[in-house]
Amino acid sequence: MMNPSEIDTLVAISRIIPVITIERLQDAVPLARALVAGGVRLLEVTLRTEAGLAGAARIIAEVPEAVVGIGTVLTPDDLARAVGIGVRFALSPGATPALLEAAARCGIPFLPGIATASELMAAMSHGFQTFKFFPATAAGGIPALQALAGPFPAARFCPTGSIGAHNAAEWLARPNVVAVGGSWLTPAAEVRDGKWPAITARCAESVRDLSGSIPLPA
């Protein structure tokens, strides 16, 4: 099981985590470079496409400034493949007992996905303290997160799901939120058209608007 300080080290790099879906392998490196140039170094590359894992591996090899994690981890095999390419962290949208057991042994920071108190308790029983709250808005939004803070004061969260520039600051202001994830930094149309300067500019604006003004949770 990881030390909680490993999560703290990651979120100190960035409290904004872009959720990246790579459709074409050739987009992986220029996209990562555009994000890094805008001040966003902590990247979640999802396993939603066939190019996801290979794209993450290419970013790790060619963009050393990026801190690459794998998202949409659904099975122990997904997690093993992610660890095998050298990712720095991993996340899941939910968690089965088998995945929680594998993640507790995997040696890298892992954020299991939860949406309910029962799911949170199951993940905590495996030693986890920081979680992906997904789907954040559909699962009850900020009121749900506030409600979880009562019986679970030590739990911390990275909400993902319908979070964007319009509400990221509100989420980050919550004392039990360490970071937010979202796809608003990498619109699919801009990635398809190779509009890397636009992505860099959006990242820089988000970093400027969200970083520094909102303290890290205690």
Establish whether 132 is a catalytic residue: yes
CA dist., res. 17 & res. 211, Å (int) = 12
CATH topology classification for 4-210: TIM Barrel (3.20.20)
Relative orientation angle of helices 97-105 and 117-124, to the nearest 10 degrees: 40
Which residue, among 125, 126, 136, 135, has the nearest Cα to 172 in the 3D structure?
A: 136
Name the active-site residue from 132, 170, 195, 205: 132
Instruction: Give pTM, 2 decimals.
Output: 0.93
CA dist., res. 203 & res. 108, Å (int) = 26
Give the model's pLDDT for residue 215. 53
177 and 157 Cβ atoms separated by less than 8 Å: yes
The residues near 61 (Cβ < 8 Å, ≥ 6 apart) are none
CA dist., res. 202 & res. 124, Å (int) = 36
Instruction: Give the pair of three-digit tokens for residue 12.
Output: 């100190």
103 and 110 Cβ atoms separated by less than 8 Å: yes
User: If you search the block for the tokens 């608007």, which residue do you land on?
Assistant: 209
List per-residue pLDDT tens for the chain, 218 residues long. Answer: 556 678 888 988 999 999 999 999 999 999 999 999 999 999 999 999 999 999 999 999 999 999 999 999 999 999 999 999 999 999 999 999 999 999 999 999 999 999 999 999 999 999 999 999 999 999 999 999 999 999 999 999 999 999 999 999 999 999 999 999 999 999 999 999 999 999 999 999 999 988 654 555 55
Give the model's pLDDT for residue 8. 84
Establish whether 44 is a catalytic residue: yes
The residues near 115 (Cβ < 8 Å, ≥ 6 apart) are 94, 133, 134, 135, 139
132 and 110 Cβ atoms separated by less than 8 Å: no
Name the active-site residue from 6, 23, 44, 170: 44
CA dist., res. 46 & res. 19, Å (int) = 7
CA dist., res. 139 & res. 143, Å (int) = 10
